[in-house]
Amino acid sequence: MITTLRLVLIIVALTFVSGCKRITRSAHVGQSRAHGTPIADGQVVLVRQGLYRGAFILTNQTTTPETTDYKWFSRSDGAGTFNITEPAVTSSIVKDASKVEFSVYSIEWSANNPGVGWIYYSLFPADKKLKPAYEICVTDETNIAGIDANDPKWVFRGRPLGKPHTAP
């Protein structure tokens, strides 16, 4: 017959041998770094970091292969317009990319459907104490001309909106 002490010792030993461990929950469970709505081809997205101002326009977003083309604009003098005739403005076109990278920015992207994709903030909604690598403002504009990224109507965010997930 197995005594109570032996039974307890067997259970404890089996727990260690079976690899059971205490379950810890990340503050990011149930959260996404993705912008709340997918970005359509041709839609202007503004980005900023310190004095750097940038903009990009995704085009030809495909799911197979999962790539996008984009045109980007950048300046580092704190001004917010992107007229390519200004010496402070640089721009280029990138083809078949899996990430939006230019100037000081490296922004994750993934396909949603043909012509539509997701862009990602550098932080999760719960990362309130951390400084974002960049801030994003998704616009409804399709023409970069006339946009001033410093206009107060553009609201930049460093993390997506959302409530931190809490365990039930």
Q: Which residues make Cβ contacts (< 8 Å) with residue 153, sequence separation at least 6?
A: none
**pTM value?**
0.79
What order do you get walking across the sheet with 90-97 strand by strand?
A: 90-97, 66-75, 52-63, 44-49, 135-138
- Per-residue model confidence (pLDDT) at position 86: 96
What is the enclosing helix (H) or strand (E) of 55? strand 52-63
Per-residue pLDDT of the chain (168 residues; tens, 9 = 90+): 567 666 656 665 555 555 545 555 555 554 689 999 999 999 999 999 999 999 999 999 999 999 999 999 999 999 999 999 999 999 999 999 999 999 999 999 999 999 999 999 999 988 889 999 999 999 999 999 999 999 999 999 999 886 443 333
- Per-residue model confidence (pLDDT) at position 3: 72
SS3 50: coil
What order do you get walking across the sheet with 39-40 strand by strand?
A: 39-40, 116-119, 105-113, 99-102
